[in-house]
Structure 1
Amino acid sequence: MTSPGPEAIGRARPGGDPRIHAAIQGKKEAAESLLLELLPRVRNLVRYLVRGDVDVEDISQEALIALLRGLSTYRGEGSFQSWADRVVARTTFAWLKRARGSEARRGEEPAELMAVPSEDAPPDEYVHRRRVVMLLDRIPDEQRHAMVLHHVLGLSVVEVSNELGIAFETIRSRLRLGKAALRALVGEDGDAPGGGTE
């Protein structure tokens, strides 16, 4: 099966965003518009996946470059945001793996939280995201990554297993442990963060 050419991508989904096709064709304004719209989403997802804020901007920039370079691979199957989320998650995991290998930035204190309000989000959503990332910072990364992919991005357990290259039962265990850890933390804090992690 051959991949559709750039001209087919813009038509792949009725009502698809014409900026995608224009960006693939090299139109700078369309690419800038898409990336500016995605930036708060990218930063928030990166922040959900990494502990602290020290590297959020660097990883987000790397993810935006990966999105731009990978636009021609978007086939219009499923939402553009879901495709973008997966690119951002993969970029973040690759960055974390490189950082672990060089033991870069270990032990730095997290700076102010980088959850970024989007223009169309209710005012309290920013506060909710800040509280969620503070809770996520307190659980092990393995559980955190499984929880974010499953509960925030909506991937099935099988998809999380495939995305992380980890056995299905291990992912189920990490989800169970992560959920229990978050519930315990919410109990300690005496205040539930709302519906972003369940």
Structure 2
Amino acid sequence: MSRLQEEIKKYQESFKQKVPQDIQELMLKATKKLQEQKLSKNALKVGDKAITFKLKNANYKEICLEEQLKENDFIVLNFYRGQWCPYCNLELQALQSINAQLKALNGKIIAISPQTPDNSLTTKEKNELEFEVLSDEFNKVAKEYGLVFSLDEELRPIYKSFGIDIITANNEDSFKLPMPATFVINKNKEIIYSFVDEDYTKRSEPQTILDIIQKNK
């Protein structure tokens, strides 16, 4: 089992001890509903061309995918829900752990969420991230990548009871979020790896990302 999977499993065991069974069942039911809709089939896949974009980073500087691809052989594009999501934080920390190896392969990580730049900065500082964390206002880019869904209405009061304020985090009240996703994009803007899952507890393996890039060097 990978380190990321171990951390996820550890968190899940702790969550099960703390959260009432009926709430756990509601959360599982909402995930199952998403899986039944097979939303991931609409996401960009291996062989598709990456859609370029310009988004603000945590310091309000505009970052352009096109320019990043001129400077790097590979871009690892990670869509996450927000700094309020423990699974996202575990994944971002796992990506940080391979950041130096990716740089050595002339690769760069770019993480994207619908959060405001200020909340992206919180994410960056909280997880000690050395890569770009961008703000995708109203999920515009996530929509183009086929990732957006609406948080189940039954989950909204549950999240609120956990102290999660998505409206404030994203500065809008649609409750739309991206499915967690990771894409590896090469110099020709071709997607050479795609991981998308309706189940927010499932995340891409950092080692798989490294393997894909090494194979395509």
- TM-score category, normalised to shorter length: under 0.3
Q: Please say which structure displays the higher CA radius of gyration.
A: 1
